[in-house]
Amino acid sequence: MDGSLVQPAEAAFWTRAQTHMLRFGGDFVPFVPVRAEGAFVYDAGGRRVLDFTSGQMSAILGHCHPEIVATVRDQVGRLDHLFSSMLSPPVVDLATALAAQMPDLPKVMLLSTGGEANEAAIKIAKLVTGGWEVVGFAQSWHGMTGGAAAATYKAGRRGYGPAAAGSFAIPAPNAFRPRFPGVTWQQELDDAFALLDRQSTGNLAAFIAEPILSSGGILELPEGYLNALQAKCRERGMKLIIDEAQTGIGRTGLMFACQRDGVVPDLLVLSKTLGAGLPLSAVMTSEAISDACDARDFLFYTTHVNDPLPAAVGLKVLEIVERDGLAARAASVGDRLKAGLRGLQAEFPWIGDVRGRGLLLGVEFVDEDGGQRRSAAALSDAVTDRALELGLSANIVRAGASGGVMRIAPPLTVTEAEIDLGLDLLWQALKAVA
């Protein structure tokens, strides 16, 4: 842990933290927030940090949005948690509102986390197809529970024994680092499925895909790819699951990222952004799949299924995003942010690529002077650490051959002034490292 941000008054806090907190994925950030508002988090001394990751890519309305705060206070005082077989008005209202956004998927189940929702979607696909083989991208991240973890290839596969039988992966297209230069994404997809067909036992159940692989390095599936992927699934009797944990609810400029391609999946999974920072996820599917689940006694009975408190929050999130035109705003403000990042790319040669859509963007670092001076990993870490010292929070995702991709995902409520401030702080960090 970098001690440069640790104040003397926090020493006891970090002593207790290091004594009692179990690490679950790298070091903890040397900043102790005690409150947050909008796009900023603050420590006890009043120092503020501009949050360009929306918490864990979830707080799309910023922190402590007054309408979300009011909704939580009202709902928790009236109805918070119920017996799992009971349905309450906020739950049915949220399901109705989600179905209005994707009419072909009118059946909804509400859960707590993205991993849990992906788990449910995978189980549904297995149940209704009778198959048990699940395919994902080699750079994917879908969760930490059993089936979702088996479909996650970005990290976390070593040291835990065998994954679920029938787990397969194909490479995601990467325009900046093509797997086979000169080969189109369609040719690559055809080749991947040809290999998959040779390995399958004939029990293919589902393909699970993110429209933009976020933890995989902000890899955006090219236009037309989801259509082609859906066709491959239909040819084999597979269900297409689209995981919009980070791309859903307006972040990419549309309510759902898959809408750009006109694709309606068999199952759509929402999480992170749906709860605007509170634990809420959803599985959406068709009448036909729902009927098949009923006929086969689908079971996914959990403690917090269809809880009213998070449902009320999700309903308010949808209302605000629609009312305030935040999806369209994500597109326009995202263009401003991307243009600024490309300006930095022109100035600093070790920024190799700027990519993404709306307010989910990535800055990929490359080796300095061909690796003769500093590696991309060292550069990306140094820039991220310096940015935090200056007051900007972003994070690095390791992505295969790349040394690091800075993931930038401000809240949809971010102002143009905050975008410009973030770009300035990032410029200062880059300049300091240079």
Catalytic residues: 141, 210, 243, 246, 272, 407
Beta bridge partners of 284: 108, 268
Q: At a CB cut-off of 8 Å and minimum separation 6, what does 323 contact?
A: none
Contact criterion met (CB below 8 Å) for 381 and 373: no
Q: At a CB cut-off of 8 Å and minimum separation 6, what does 346 contact?
A: none
Contact criterion met (CB below 8 Å) for 330 and 251: yes
Sheet holding 40-43, edge to edge: 33-37, 40-43, 48-51, 392-393
For residue 193, give Cα distances in angstroms to 138, 182, 197, 229, 321. Answer: 13, 19, 6, 10, 38
| Block residue for tokens 């997809």 | 189
**Closest of 423, 376, 310 to residue 176, by C-alpha:** 376
| Block residue for tokens 């933009």 | 212
Parallel, antiparallel, or unpaired for β 267-270 and 107-111?
Answer: unpaired
